[in-house]
Amino acid sequence: MNDLLMLDKYFPEGNLEGGIELANRLDWGITVQMAGEGYVVSSGDEPILRAEHKDALQSFIYGLGLAYAILPEKVFISLEKALKDL
């Protein structure tokens, strides 16, 4: 089991779905689906991670979300706007 120490402090709603929400605001298009007994994380139609264990899935989503969650709100909003302007 993972100990996601900054989840409650930085992630919207204090959960991993909040990390996915942040990434998707920056056009990642992240989805998570079951694949047999494992998981597939995709960005749009492109699979970017296959994980056999939930811990690996959680670690990936936590790392992705944390990269954005720790940004000051003004910086995140500026990044979000810059990506929309591309």
Helix-, strand-, coil-residue percentages of the chain, each rounded to 5: 50, 20, 25
36-74 confidence digits (pLDDT tens): 999 999 999 999 999 999 999 999 999 999 999 999 999
- The total number of structural domains that make up the chain: 1
Q: What are phi and psi of 50, to 5 degrees?
A: -115, 130
Within 10 angstroms of residue 81's Cβ, the number of other Cβ atoms is 9
Q: Is the pTM of this model over 0.85?
A: yes
In a domain, residue 86? The reply is yes
In a domain, residue 23? The reply is no
Tell me how many degrees the CA angle 45-48-51 measures, rounded to the nearest 5.
120
In a domain, residue 52? The reply is yes
In a domain, residue 13? The reply is no
What is the three-class DSSP state of 59? helix
